[in-house]
A = this chain, B = another copy of it.
Amino acid sequence: MNLSQALLHALKNHGACEIFGIPGDFALDFFVEVERAGVLPLYTLSHEPSVGFAADGAARYGGGLGVAAVTYGAGALNMVNAVAAAYAEKTPVVVISGAPGESERETGLLLHHQAKTIDSQFAIYREITCHQARLDDPARAPADIAAALQACLRHSRPVYLELPRDKVVVPCRAVEMLAPTLSDPQAVAACVDELLARLMSARSPVLMAGIEVRRYGLEAKMAQLIRRLNIPVVTSFMGRGVLADCGLTIAGTYLGVAGDAEVTELVEASDALLMMGVILSDTNFGVSRRKIDLRKSILALDGQVTLGYHVYSDISLEALLDGLLARTDVHPVRSNFPATASRELPRNLRADEGPISPADIAAAVNDLVEQGHHFPIVSDIGDCLFTALDIRNSALLAPGY
């Protein structure tokens, strides 16, 4: 088995379904190997930002790893923005970049496609990925690949693998999958106890579901928990579309002063706002951050749980959900809150002579969904994203970045 094959099998074993990419001088040999190996289908595009967005979108939609393969320099540097967006929105994307071989590192010539130094690209990707490795030592490569892919899945964030072109076909052992890092069961139990006590003693608990729920594939478990807790549910702005297919009534999407007044009131008046996987960005909270005192809410994010003024570290969202489900198993803890009605969305588009407004588009899409058509929605940012809020809560692929 050569290094490329080891990498390709590892990608597949960790959940990748395909590779998006554009070949180039420093990546030609790897692309040959990708095609020869036939482990994962290869989709070649023509613009590197699209490669990044495609890999990101595949991971958002399919739930596995997105893979983007590019060449060194003009390839990888042209994808910086797309990868930074994946970092900010927590999408597990594996970036594979070709790179100069060992002898080229020593010529003394500047390489075409190189920035300040040969290692500049590595330094740049350090700022936009959660893990980086240069696969320049076949003996160490299996461990390096395993660590990178584990980090990608664990943090649900992009990682960067640099594959020098003289290492593409060197012999290499297969990559063993690392066991996931488990949360301490006693810590989880302590956290679950306190969280449930806090919820049960609250007058008006609200659960806000965020993007991590989807990224970690936890929608079914989350829906089960919500049914047992019976508390009102909203999504964050970036989490719009989460839980879309779970048959739950979602009260709406929280947008602060810019959003639906009832939803805003529901969230901001809650005395126990439980945010599950909600990214603390100004996109989610910028417009209203004076209203929500984050320190008094409960936040499960980035592998830790913050309850008011204190923090439980090293508790994954999945461990927390499992813990909550285990504790509410026999005796479901139903609050008395009436299931909040979802707000009215634009429907029944009439073909009149008036100009087409964004709300008309939303109405048209809603009508279509009503007729039984189901599909995910891909939305651009800006006005598109705001209009998408008027569309039935479909699975939504949108960069909030």
With the chains together, A78 CA to B77 CA distance in Å?
A: 9
Q: Is A81 an interface residue (CB 8 A)?
A: yes
Q: Is A116 an interface residue (CB 8 A)?
A: yes
Q: Is A313 an interface residue (CB 8 A)?
A: yes
Q: Which residues of chain A from 153 to 168 have any CB-CB distance to chain B below 8 Å in the complex?
A: none
Q: Which residues of chain A from 103 to 124 have any CB-CB distance to chain B below 8 Å in the complex?
A: 104, 107-117, 120-121, 123-124
A84 touches B115 (CB 8 A): yes
CB-nearest residue of chain B to A315: B309
Per-position binary interface string of chain A over residues 95-109, scored 1 when its CB falls under 8 Å from any chain B CB and 0 otherwise: 000000000100111
CB-nearest residue of chain B to A309: B187
With the chains together, A50 CA to B85 CA distance in Å?
A: 20
With the chains together, A280 CA to B110 CA distance in Å?
A: 6
Per-position binary interface string of chain A over residues 263-290, scored 1 when its CB falls under 8 Å from any chain B CB and 0 otherwise: 0000000000000000111110110010
Contacts of A121 in B (CB 8 A): 127
Q: Is A170 an interface residue (CB 8 A)?
A: no
A124 touches B80 (CB 8 A): yes
Q: Which residues of chain A from 170 to 221 have any CB-CB distance to chain B below 8 Å in the complex?
A: 184, 186-187, 190-191, 194
Cross-interface CB contact of A184 among B77, B184, B309, B312, cutoff 8 Å: B309
Known: A107-B289, A281-B112. A77 touches B84 (CB 8 A): yes
Task: Report the interface size for chain A: residues with CB under 8 A from the other chain.
Answer: 58
Contacts of A111 in B (CB 8 A): 281-282
A139–chain B nearest beta-carbon distance, Å: 8
CB-nearest residue of chain B to A284: B109
CB-nearest residue of chain B to A110: B281
Contacts of A285 in B (CB 8 A): 109
B120 touches A123 (CB 8 A): no
Contacts of A343 in B (CB 8 A): none
Known: A187-B309, A311-B313. A280 touches B80 (CB 8 A): no
Q: Is A74 an interface residue (CB 8 A)?
A: yes
With the chains together, A285 CA to B107 CA distance in Å?
A: 11
Q: Is A38 an interface residue (CB 8 A)?
A: no
A280 touches B109 (CB 8 A): yes
B401 touches A112 (CB 8 A): yes
A282 touches B88 (CB 8 A): no
Q: Is A63 an interface residue (CB 8 A)?
A: no
A197–chain B nearest beta-carbon distance, Å: 12
A283–chain B nearest beta-carbon distance, Å: 4
CB-nearest residue of chain B to A116: B127
With the chains together, A121 CA to B295 CA distance in Å?
A: 29
With the chains together, A201 CA to B351 CA distance in Å?
A: 71
CB-nearest residue of chain B to A109: B282
A319–chain B nearest beta-carbon distance, Å: 12
Contacts of A113 in B (CB 8 A): 88, 401
A315–chain B nearest beta-carbon distance, Å: 8
Q: Is A30 an interface residue (CB 8 A)?
A: no
5 pairs of residues in contact across A and B, judged by CB atoms under 8 Å: A49-B78, A84-B120, A120-B128, A123-B127, A310-B312
Residues of A within 8 A of B (CB): 48-49, 73-74, 77-78, 80-81, 84-85, 87-88, 104, 107-117, 120-121, 123-124, 126-128, 130, 139, 184, 186-187, 190-191, 194, 279-283, 285-286, 289, 294-295, 307-313, 400-401
The 3 closest A-B pairs by CB, nearest first: A120-B127, A187-B309, A78-B81
